[in-house]
Structure 1
Amino acid sequence: MPICIWNPLEPFMPPARFHLVGVAGSGMNPLAQALLASGCSVSGSDRFLDQGRDLDVLAKLRRAGVRLAPQDGSAVVPGTTAVVVSTAIEPGNPDLAAAARLAIPVLHRAEMLSILAEGRDVCSVRERGLELAPGPEQAPQPGARGEINHSRPPRELIAVAGTSGKTTVTGMVGFLLERLGDDPFVINGGVVAAWESPDAVGNVRPGRGPRWVVELDESDRSLLRFHPDWAVITNMSADHFPLEETQALFTRFAAQVRRGVVGRDDAAEPWRSFRPKIGPDGSRFEYGGARFHVPLLGRHNAENALQAAMLCERLGHSLPRVAEALAGFCGIRRRLEVAGTVRGVTVIDDFAHNPAKIRAAWEAVAPYHRRVLAAWRPHGFGPLASLRDGLRPLFAEMARAGVRLFLLPVFYAGGTAKGAVSSNDLAADLRADGADVEVLSNLDALVARLAAEAREGDAILIMGARDPDLPAAARRLVAALG
């Protein structure tokens, strides 16, 4: 049965039904919302449901119309158009076994997102069984990509990629285009504070205009599935891959962009003369004759804002209007988000999970506080192993600067991942370098320890990705301080 993708807010013809495995994930839950907004029927499963945990994001997906089920294969039923997975889903997953048994095609998340964002018609979905082929970094095979639907208005795809800052820049660009009257469709990995509500997650804006703004993921090279009209490449540093491999990946992606790429070149304007004034109320800078105020902490957010402004200028918007709109941007959840200030102690929740992001958070906060207490949870065994050599000198530098360091055990969401390296191993590295670091057994112990340690004038940074309990721990700490 064909899938026909039309205008983003019109139903697929005939109606399509998709099942998303791992639907609570930061890449999957916005895809589920975008599919719903496009008229599809959507179901989803997640390990958190297996554990009896109804996360806030799952509750909002349910209220939006996503049928939720445990990850036991029960939601993969005859009539399902395709099962959608991310690279994190293991081959032995029960939902994949059910798809194989029912001969239901399996699509990678990036392929489904590219179908939506690029406005393609898929006249037939090639049956792929459990192969999940082509891989996330490969172009789809002939017959699987489909053709552009020329009956709809032309679509303009804007993709945001990069090692750090892409979620914030995606949110900024979407927010700016909304304020500037473009009515964009935005799919982001993080929650835009201005779009969040009791019923809306806040990472998807189902606009009716031709411009689509999408955050792309480089961790599995799946960004290479996209051929956007415009792209922002925020920066490049070692994270999921060594630096040279990362640079080669983004260079290859840039070659697929049809109209233009906004990036960073310190040897060229406007970067060569970029001198933002950074303060506790954000940053200020001039670009193209317009004066910008970014109400977010840190030089890195000034750089994010400059790239968003550069893109909007290339899309035809006047810089004074862009600057006016940007002054109202109140940020992304879990990006230097202040959970509260009690008795002169400020608690900040941040998504930082690699050395560049941890440094950016520290340098944004440190100048305005007597002392920084930094707690970090590694978001996986593999990431900790690959980042260990970069984390060691950074944390040692932070300790020498007076930062009190606290580590939590590696976050484990289930599956067959094995812990070849632990937080205790990283702590041993740091102690060998002369750094004072504590390893706490769980979040309850961390909250109690930080509440006892904090003094007036301190900032407490709680950092890490993937663990949905980190924001709640920050709020509990605020309550404990009171």
Structure 2
Amino acid sequence: MHNLAIELHLKGFNVTGSDDEIYEPSLSRLAAYNLLPGSMGWYPEKITTSLDAVILGMHAREDNPELAKARELGIKVYSYPEYIFEHSQNKQRVVIAGSHGKTTITSMILHVLKFNNRLFDYLVGAQLEGFDNMVKLSKNAPLIVIEGDEYFTSPLDKTPKFMHYQPHMVLISGIAWDHFNVFPTWESYVKQFELLADSIPKAGAIIFDETDNMLEVIGRKGRADVAAIPYAAHPSKISEGKTVLLAEGGKEFPVLVFGEHNMKNVSGAKAVCERLGIADDAFYNAISTFKGASKRLELLGSNATVNIYRDFAHAPSKVEATANAVQEQFPNRELIACAELHTFSSLNKAFLKQYRRKLDAADIAVVYYNPETIEHKRLEPLSEEDIRTAFKRDDLHVFTDSDKLAAFLLSHNWENRNLLLMSSGTFGGLNLQTLKEDILK
């Protein structure tokens, strides 16, 4: 939402907004453009007939007083995806979806398009080097690339966001049930992606990971005049700790990303770019310079014998793929992998078993969770034994105190060891900069 506010401000709109809490980096970025509200909270008097429209975020509840006032006055209320569609009706719309990898694939596509001087609009879920904002809307761009998720559109609309974009081309990166709070059954979760695939118009295309059993079924379902384009991991090799793409004609292209999941991401991005008219050499030359999206296997620091990575991984499939990637990239180093249970699903006792053996790639496996977060989400309390049983790992180290977690990590000899920190949270406010400096001393 804050990126959309900044983009509309830069386009010359008079933008105001309300919220009851604003965190970093939204806080600083809004302040830099003088877009922060004067005070936190909801003020119906702000809503007047002078407004052209109201854009409703997921954080505002159905009984929000400002929303009620807007509806009373008959002011047009858009959800976030409805507003994006409003600005892209006359553009070619490409949506990148899937349970995992969609941010990285979208970022790869944006990087390749920019590298090759293409004109395009976009919406992506992470900060990307070379892009000032995470949303771009313009009049002239013939194309928009959208990271589309399956979460509800707004408090008033339980439709998945990606359905509102009405895409001409869809990539689905994989289906792994990790939204227990939104979709209580596997079947209800899979159905959303089937609906998305079925919505593709004639002359459109669906690009899908053929190694995903469920997606293989959805992707190859007969749809009249819709191209079905499967992909798998791009051929590659690891040479002296670096990943190299193996292209046709014996060509080799070193890249800065690694892991089987990222080789799939490269293939998916390439398939989309090919449909957009990007030649193979143009793609490879661009992807060789792609450094990754923020918090996606992001290298926090390193020395001759240690690498420290941060990753947004929190769902079971993401935790497994990310840990495996680091272990395979550095087979001669021990891996200490830390995962934070932070989301509603990950802290739900009924869902916790989905993490079974997901940290097996780590030599030393660590899980952190904050009991206060469980209480805040009104979930059943968890014990350390519950977590060890769920992960199916007796030697799992479990922490509920960030200071004790830091002390545990610093107690190790870091010669020939890598650290992987996986979370959509902050490990209870753990100072990663200080931790990094102490480890690399």
Q: Report the TM-score when normalising by structure 1.
A: 0.74
Give the match for residue 370 of structure 1: 333
Aligned position for 1:22: none
Task: Please give the per-residue CA displacement for 1:250-283, whole angstroms capped at 9, x wherever unaligned.
Answer: 1210122232121122489874695332453234
Aligned counterpart in structure 1 of residue 353 of structure 2, from 389, 407, 418:
389
In the TM superposition, residue 186 of structure 1 has moved relative to its aligned partner by 1.7
- What letter is aligned with 1:339? L
Aligned partners of 2:303 and 2:94: how far apart in 1? 41
Match of 1:452 in 2: 411
Aligned to 1:41, the other structure's residue is in SS state coil
* Amino acid corresponding to residue 478 of structure 1 in structure 2: K
* Letter of the 2:47 counterpart: V
Distance 1:38 1:229, change over 3 A: farther
Residues 162, 283 of structure 1: alpha-carbon distance in 2 compared, 3 angstrom cutoff? farther
Q: Deviations over 1:37-91 (max 9, x none)?
A: 4443223344444xxx6x2332122323534354411484323344333334333
Q: 1:291 to 1:248 in 2, by over 3 A?
A: farther
- The answer to whether the aligner puts 1:350 opposite 2:311 as a matched pair is yes
State the shift of 1:477 in Å. 0.9
Q: Which amino acid aligns with 2:422?
A: M
Deviations for 1:277-326, whole angstroms, at most 9, x for unmatched residues?
24532341325986544320211111111111111111122111111111
- Separation of aligned partners in 2, 1:156 and 1:289: 34
**Which deviates more, 281-290 or 362-371?**
281-290
Q: Is the 8 A contact 2:339 2:423 kept in 1?
A: yes
Partner amino acid for 1:182? R
**Residue identity opposite 1:473 in structure 2:** N
Residue by residue over 1:4-55, the C-alpha shift from the partner in whole angstroms, topping out at 9 and shown as x without a partner, is xxxxxxxxxxxxxxxxxxxxxxxx2333234334443223344444xxx6x2
Conserved 8 A contact 1:155-1:210: yes
Deviation at 1:405, TM superposition (A): 1.2
User: Hey, what's the Cα distance between the residues in 2 that align with 1:29 and 1:461?
Assistant: 29
For 1:319, which of 261, 280, 287 is the aligned residue? 280
Distance in 2 (CA, whole Å) between partners of 1:413 and 1:431 is 18
Q: Which residue of 1 aligns with 2:157?
A: none
CA deviation string 1:141-167 (max 9, x = no partner): xxxxxxxxxxxxx41111111110000
Structure 1 gaps, min length 5: 1-27, 120-153
8 Å contact 1:343–1:456 — kept in the other structure? no
Query: In structure 1, what is the Cα distance between the partners aligned to 2:386 and 2:5?
Result: 37
Pairing 1:437–2:397 present:
yes
CA contact (8 A) 1:290 1:323 kept: no
The yes-or-no answer on 1:58 pairing with 2:35 is no
Q: In the alignment, which of 145, 156, 167 is matched to residue 228 of structure 1?
A: 167
Seq. identity, %: 24
The correspondence of residues 204-219 of structure 1 with structure 2, limited to 5 A, is 204-205=135-136, 208-219=140-151
Q: In 1, distance between residues paired with 2:371 and 2:102?
A: 24
> RMSD of aligned C-alpha atoms?
3.2
Q: Shift in Å at residue 423 of structure 1?
A: 6.8
Matches within 5 A, 1:291-302: 291-302=252-263
From 87, 90, 100, the counterpart of 2:61: 90
Q: Which amino acid aligns with 1:439?
A: F
TM-score normalised by L of structure 2: 0.80
Alignment of 1:196-345 (within 5 A): 200=132, 202-205=133-136, 208-220=140-152, 221-240=160-179, 241=183, 242-258=185-201, 259-266=204-211, 271=231, 274-278=234-238, 280-286=241-247, 291-342=252-303, 344-345=305-306
Q: Given the superposition, is the C-alpha separation of residues 102 and 382 from structure 1 closer, same or farther in structure 2, using an over 3 Å criterion?
A: farther
* Residue in 2 that maps onto 1:141: none
CA deviations on 1:336-367 (whole Å, 9 max, x unpaired) are 10111257332211100111111111011113
Checking the alignment, whether the CA contact within 8 Å between 2:54 and 2:75 is kept in structure 1 is yes
Deviations 1:90-136 (A, max 9, x none): 335554466567665543222222223x33xxxxxxxxxxxxxxxxx
Residue of structure 2 in register with 1:29 after alignment: 2
Counterpart for residue 107 of structure 1 = 78
Q: Is the CA contact 2:341–2:367 (under 8 Å) kept in the aligned structure 1?
A: no
Q: Is the 8 A contact 1:379 1:464 kept in 2?
A: yes
- 8 Å CA contact retained: 2:364, 2:396: no
Runs of at least 5 residues in structure 2 that lack an aligned partner in the other structure: 153-159, 221-228
The answer on whether the counterparts of 1:293 and 1:323 sit within 8 Å (CA) in structure 2 is: no
Match of 2:431 in 1: 473
Cα 1:187–1:361 change in 2 (3 A) is: same
Measure how far apart 1:428 and its partner are: 4.7
